[in-house]
A and B are shown apart, each in its own frame.
Chain A
């Protein structure tokens, strides 16, 4: 590291080298935190471009912990800085605009789910496409016992008081863990793709069952879901919120929802911390090493005496247990639980988080969870809001901009295709397939110019069916494919996984070199 920075004469690298001094880094990070927070607080909420600006300014603030972790500071100072950011600064921002707090809770829940899935997929190498089912088990556990809907629970007076929430977190862990073992038992013999499909089927079964258990005996209230689910009391936080109101000098219209949000935010943070600690300890325990052995080579692991059945069940159960706890939290936070929230796309989005961040590594998975959740719940949503805001003020996209964008994108694609084509011709390989993107680029530019000409495009003409917020699948799909092609080990790769993938890449290249003759 040091050798690389000192030998360069690049001014940027020099500046970064300067930042490597702990004191400078500390000051820089504090300045960064305060600046990003200040920008967010200072945004004019009435402005037309508010959604766009908020979309740009929020991610740097939320991603600050990863910056802190990457800094050359002492471990304890890093922890203290992260704690300050998460425990003081984020709630403070939430007082100003509670949507950020809501987003932070969602990020925490998804990060916890991603960490849980990471145990199954990343540590033990068992691809689980029905992971959201365990989350559903947790959410339904809480919702069924507290919703006033006329279910079998309400009729028989099996309901519990709202403050049983804290106990039910553990009950959710238990039930989800049992569900994990129940799923694990029949699929023990399956490997790879078969396992993926069966777990996918299992996830769908849980959803279909939840969807249909409204009759003949009403257990889950079917597709309408359970509403008015209880929340644990947040009364003790009211003085805190009122105190914040006085300190910030910002009047708060409604104390209660904000108090709930702060409560759930802290519970979520607490859960994440516990999950991180548990996951780290599991990873470095004999169990974790057994999982790694199974992941790397199942047959060899059996030969070395790893108890395969027990270890696989353990992976399913512990992954599921995390989801169960978070499910209870989710049920209480949303106060509404329906089968809709537990579809395949949720499982895939959690998988995308694990993959984007880097299979197997805890820090990577956390980063993946933050990035994907932000993309899904903030970037896409704010883009939709922005389009609507522009629609309301009758904004137009200038014709020259459309043409310039088409020419730039098409030109880049054409250039790329040209380079690939030339390289393929030089290697005497199949070159034909690179003609397709070239033709597509030319055609795209032609269509853009011919259909828009030099006319301005009024944003009001943007079809409402094309709102970015509805295209989460597209984002996940593109993310997964791109990650797999260009960076299968993720944004922050786990070292061992990186080695493995590098080895397979080498093999691939050797195969390619060997097979180039045909």
Chain B
């Protein structure tokens, strides 16, 4: 995510200028792999939220009262914190899935249709592990350190989904490398369907049911809802907000699981950024995605790098699955489809093949979705049920007017 900083360091090294002060700080590990990506993340959240709020308020100007006794401006002002927090948390889930699509597209130039199933497998694995820990006895889950529990769940989801992704690549994609583009795509569709039913069969045998409910209720930590109350006293600058909402104080209720998603996702994204942009293996992946044949000539094992990419993509999908499962509570073998499609839209929106783009696209779509969910309720002719339609419309519009995405470079198709 911080690729552009490396070029400046190379330039200054080439010019022989001794780097001091700001320049030195810019080249420091801390800036490149912590401060800069964190700044990007917060910048994206802030930017998208502001744009969406403005759009929502514009809508409120056009339809001040979509229903009787409903003042849209007031409603937006009241719901804003919830919409933003909810949007950011689901946006991080989308971003983590979208990264898998983008990484694989980067190296193989094909859309891994089965990627949403790695997400699904991750969510089911998270359930299995949590269920098994909980089955050891009454109060066992409660006795675990919650942080340790989350780390264990996420890691198990990552390892299994990542391994699965590597196996799928080896079995279903590698024999097809170099075939016409439709061939691996169709194979990927097949893998996707296969995985859904394998997991369903597994759930059927072990649980005789495929609505898998995380035992979240057994852990009081997950049930906590830290609340922040804003009043004119502690936030005098937000006076306009209190006026808009027509309230004396605004409660910001945080769901613990949303917070977990946000913190875990930020940590993992920082690690991924460091891995891809700051390690030898990451350089190998980037080299293969630029030019596989030349990378091979430079002594990079392309197949190994592709497997590594699939592992990374699958692992991130799996982690997203666990976090998503913790947040929504119940997962099924079919859970991957809609988030997968939304995440794919996010990857395309940001510019497929571009990791920063996947992050931006994921956050943007998450926020768009919660804003739509929050606002469409007041329009009886539409309602929330049309949210997926709007998501697809975003995809179609992006592909029509900017096929390379928001941040993607325009690449001419080779003839």
Which residues of A come within 8 Å of B, CB atoms? 125, 127, 129, 186-187, 189-194, 196-198, 200-202, 204-205, 208-209, 211-212, 216, 297, 299, 344-345, 348, 351, 355, 430, 433, 436, 463, 465-466, 470-471, 473-474, 476-481, 484-485, 488, 500-501, 504-505, 507-508, 511, 515, 518
Contacts and interface: CB of A to CB of B under 8 A. Distances in A.
Contact of A485 (B167, B176, B182): B176
B226 interface: no
Nearest to A355: B186
27 contacts: A189-B403, A192-B181, A193-B181, A197-B341, A201-B341, A208-B385, A208-B386, A209-B389, A212-B386, A297-B415, A299-B415, A348-B189, A465-B209, A471-B201, A474-B193, A477-B189, A477-B195, A481-B172, A484-B176, A484-B179, A484-B183, A484-B184, A484-B187, A484-B190, A504-B180, A508-B178, A511-B177
Given A201-B396, A508-B179, A518-B301, A477 B194 contact: yes
Interface in B156-189: 167, 170-172, 175-187, 189
A192 B185 contact: yes
Residue of A127, A196, A202, A216 with most partner-chain B CB within 10 A: A196
Residue of A345, A470, A481 with most partner-chain B CB within 10 A: A481
A127 B208 CA distance: 37
Contact of B170 (A433, A474, A480): A433
Q: Say what secondary structure dominates the interface of chain B.
A: helix
Interface residues of B, number: 63
A477 B193 contact: yes
A197 B170 contact: no
B179 A488 contact: yes
Nearest to B392: A201
Q: Say what secondary structure dominates the interface of chain A.
A: helix
Given A208-B385, A436-B167, A463-B208, A481 B190 contact: yes
What 9 A-B pairs have minimum CB-CB distances, sorted nearest first? A480-B190, A477-B194, A465-B204, A477-B193, A474-B197, A201-B392, A508-B178, A481-B190, A484-B187
Contacts of B178: 504, 507-508, 511
B388 A208 contact: yes
B175 A485 contact: yes
Contact of A478 (B190, B337, B341): B190
Given A348-B193, A518-B297, 10 more contacts: A193-B185, A197-B395, A202-B392, A212-B385, A299-B415, A473-B194, A474-B194, A484-B183, A488-B179, A518-B299
A194 B189 CA distance: 14
Interface in B276-332: 293, 296-297, 299, 301-303
A478 B198 CA distance: 11
A500 B183 CA distance: 12
A501 B180 contact: yes
A188 to B, nearest CB: 9
Nearest to A217: B381
Given A197-B111, A478-B194, A127 B185 contact: yes
Contacts of A485: 172, 175-176, 187
B60 to A, nearest CB: 21
Contact of A205 (B196, B201, B389): B389
Residue of B190, B210, B299 with most partner-chain A CB within 10 A: B190
A127 B184 CA distance: 13
Given A216-B380, A481-B187, A193 B341 contact: no
Contacts of B110: 193
Nearest to B195: A477
Interface string B4-38: 00000000000000000000000000000000000
B190 A504 contact: no
Contacts of A515: 293, 296, 302
A473 B413 contact: no
Interface in B184-225: 184-187, 189-198, 200-201, 203-205, 208-210
Contact of A197 (B210, B301, B344, B383): B344
A352 to B, nearest CB: 8
B147 interface: no
Contacts of B208: 463, 465
Contacts of B205: 463, 465-466
A515 B203 CA distance: 42
Nearest to B385: A212
Contacts of B196: 473, 477
A201 B344 CA distance: 11
B400 interface: yes
Given A194-B403, A465-B208, A518 B197 contact: no
B348 interface: yes
B413 A191 contact: yes
Contacts of A476: 190, 193
Contact of A481 (B180, B191, B344): B191
B399 interface: yes
Contacts of B395: 197-198, 201
Contacts of A299: 415
A466 B204 contact: yes
A479 B190 contact: yes
Contacts of A507: 178
B253 to A, nearest CB: 30
Given A197-B344, A205-B389, A351-B186, A477 B303 contact: no
A313 to B, nearest CB: 16
A119 B192 CA distance: 25
A505 B190 CA distance: 21
Given A466-B201, A466-B204, A190 B190 contact: no
Contacts of A481: 171-172, 187, 190-191, 194
Contact of B302 (A187, A211, A518): A518
B187 A190 contact: no
Interface string B89-105: 00000000000000000
A196 B348 CA distance: 13
A447 to B, nearest CB: 13
Nearest to A354: B186
A466 B388 CA distance: 31
A508 B392 CA distance: 36
B234 to A, nearest CB: 43
A357 to B, nearest CB: 13
Contacts of B177: 508, 511
A430 B190 contact: no
A506 B197 CA distance: 34
Nearest to B187: A484
